[in-house]
Amino acid sequence: MSVRLVVSRQCDEQHEKRCAGSKNHGKKNHLERVDAMTARVSCNDCSLSPICLPLAVRADELEQLDNIIRRGRAMKRGEHLYRAADTFDAVYAVRSGALKTYSVSEEGEEQVTGFYLPGEIVGMDGISTARHVSSAKALETASVCEIPFDRLEFLSSRIPSLQHHFFSLMSREIQADRELHLLVSKKSADDRIAALLISISARHKLRGLSATTFRLPMSRYDIANYLGLAVETVSRTFTRFQQQHILRVEGREVEILDRGALCGAAPREILQQPC
C-alpha cells in the first residue's frame, strides 16, 4: 500500500509558468539553495502530513496530490508570500515557521486577519476574486508548500475525500472567523488575549509541541492589531497576567502557569476544545 514518491518533479510546466509571473522570481534560486533539505521532502515523508492536506487522501491517491505540490519554498522574516491584488493561483501549506495575513485599508492602516502555523493552509480568501484580497507575510524564517489551485480543483473532482476536505477546511476557516468575531465584538481585552494564547497553545499541542511553553511568532503590535486592541493594552495585560501568576512572559517567550485562570478569562467556545 505504501507509495514511493519521487522527490524531484520540481519544475513542471505549471511551476514554470507560475514562477515567471511571480514578483519574487529573483529570489527563487537563492531560496531553494537555502532550504535544500526540506524542499525535497515528499508529503509521504513529511511529519506534518497527519494534520495537513494529505490526511484527506488515501495512500494510493497521495502521489497525485504530491505531484501537484511545489514543496519547500523558503521565506525570510518579513518576506511576502503574496500581496493583495496579486493574481490568485495557488494556496499554500505552511511547512515551518509562521505567517500572518493582513489587509490594508485605503488610509493605509493594517488589519491582521490571521496567524498560520505549520500544517495550516493560507490563501483561501482569493478564490472568488481570482486575486488575493489580503497579503501574507512571514513572521519568521519559514517555508511553505505551494498548491496550484486549478490543479487542486481538478484533483478534487476526482478524489471526493479531497473535495470534502477542502470544503471542510474553508468551513473551519469560517468558523474560526466567527469565533474571532465574537471575541472582538463582545469580550474584554483580558479575554481576547487569553483566548489567543490558548488557541496558540492548543495548536502547538496538536503538533506535538509543548502546550505550556512556547515562543509567540508575532509582535505585540500584531497581537494588538489582530485582536482590535492598542499595543499598550496588550503589554499591560501581559504584565498583569504575570503579576497574577497566570503567565511567565519574557519578550515573546511565554509559559502558561495557570491554564485554568486563562480559560476562565477566555470563554471556552473560542477554543473548539476543552481547556
Partner DNA sequence: CGGCACATTGAGGAAACTCAACAAGTGTGG
Partner DNA sequence: CCACACTTGTTGAGTTTCCTCAATGTGCCG
Which residues are at the interface with a second copy (CB under 8 A)?
Answer: 1-4, 14, 16, 103, 105-107, 109, 111, 113, 124-130, 133-134, 153-154, 156-158, 160, 163-164, 166-175, 177-178, 180-182, 184-186, 226-228, 267-269
- With CB under 7 A as the contact rule, the residue among 31, 249, 271, 275 that binds DNA is 249
139 binds DNA (CB under 7 A): no
The reply to whether 104 sits near DNA by the rule CB under 7 A is: no
Q: What minimum distance in Å lies between the beta carbon of 9 and DNA?
A: 22
Distance CA 210, CA 192 (A): 21
Q: Does 229 sit near DNA (CB under 7 A)?
A: yes
Ordered alpha helix ranges (H), the chain: 13-21, 28-34, 36-39, 59-68, 149-158, 160-186, 189-206, 220-227, 231-243, 259-265
Minimal distance, residue 110 CB to DNA, in Å: 11
- What's the rounded Cα separation, in Å, for the pair 252 and 221? 12
Using alpha carbons, list the distances in angstroms from residue 233 to 36, 131, 255, 258: 42, 35, 19, 21
Please report whether residue 235 would count as binding DNA according to CB under 7 A: yes
Among 14, 22, 212, 219, binds DNA (CB under 7 A): 219
Q: Which does 206 bind (CB under 5 to 8 A by kind): a second copy, DNA, none?
A: none
Under the binding rule (CB under 7 A), the answer on residue 215 touching DNA is: no
Q: How many CA atoms within 13 Å lie on the side-chain side of 83?
A: 8
Residue 230 near residue 245 (C-beta atoms within 8 A):
no
Nearer Cβ to a second copy (153/250): 153
Answer yes or no whether residue 141 interacts with DNA by CB under 7 A. no
Between 175 and 210, CB nearer to a second copy: 175
Residue of the chain from 167, 221, 244, 258 that contacts DNA (CB under 7 A)? 221
Rounded to a whole number of angstroms, the minimum distance from the CB of residue 113 to DNA is 17
CA torsion, points 153, 158, 160, 165, in degrees to nearest 10?
A: -30
Which residues are 2's β-sheet partners?
none
Separation between Cα atoms, residue 43 and residue 40, nearest integer Å: 9
Single out the residue of 87, 5, 95 nearest to residue 53, CA to CA. 95
In terms of phi and psi (left: phi > 0; alpha: psi -120 to 50; beta: otherwise), the region of 97 is: left
Question: Does residue 188 belong to the site contacting DNA (CB under 7 A)?
Answer: yes
Binding site for DNA (CB under 7 A): 188-190, 219-221, 228-236, 238-239, 249, 251-252
